[in-house]
Amino acid sequence: MRKLKNSELERLSLSEFKESKKTPIIVILDNIRSLNNVGSVFRTCDAFLIQKVYLCGITAQPPHKDINKTALGSTESVDWEYVENTIDLVKALKSQNINICSIEQAHKSIALHEFQVEDKATYALVFGNEVKGVSQDVVDLSDHVIEIPQFGTKHSLNISVSAGIVIWDFFIKLKA
């Protein structure tokens, strides 16, 4: 067994990515402080052909050197838009029959591994601030609140790690 060279990975070109069928997932980053987290989420979204990323509130926007450091060009491939108010965005997406899923620890949340995706549905996954999480107002508007089960001593995962876990889980379930 040998490691593959980048040239052997057969990745899409930028134009092929733009024209490809996207996974019916939208990612909403609500008030994310760390520019490295933003870049990392973009890179994950590129890997799984995510439909769009919305940057909300204080979340920084490309181009920025600290986003680019971890995004590695994925801000060019993944469609994104800045929307100041997350509540307005969530209401607009709900009016388009997009399922809003806040990724948060909450009373009566659904464990990620127990969440069942619907055929032909589009999901907007909301990831909140590194300290405060998803705002209660957004949680209240959500169709689902999904929690990643954790078994150690810490109260949360890094937002970029959470995004990777949840996006992968939804990707697999949607492709099944």
Q: Write out pLDDT tens, residues 22-71.
A: 999 999 999 999 999 999 999 999 999 999 999 999 999 999 999 999 99
Give the pLDDT confidence of 78-131 residue by residue, as tens digits.
999 999 999 999 999 999 999 999 999 999 999 999 999 998 999 999 999 999
Domain ranges of the chain: 19-148+157-175
- What mean pLDDT value characterizes the chain? 97
Residue 103 sits at the vertex; the CA angle it makes with 89 and 55, to the nearest 5 degrees, is: 35
The CB-side HSE value for 34 (13 A sphere, CA atoms) comes to 18
Q: 157: which 2 tokens?
A: 């995962």
Q: Is the pTM of this model over 0.85?
A: yes
pLDDT in the model for residue 176: 79
Residue 82 sits at the vertex; the CA angle it makes with 134 and 59, to the nearest 5 degrees, is: 50
The total number of residues shown for the chain amounts to 176
Give the pLDDT confidence of 19-36 residue by residue, as tens digits.
999 999 999 999 999 999
Classify domain 19-148+157-175 by CATH number.
3.40.1280.10
User: In the beta sheet, which residues pair with residue 133?
Assistant: 129
Instruction: Look up tokens 């980053």; give the residue.
Output: 29
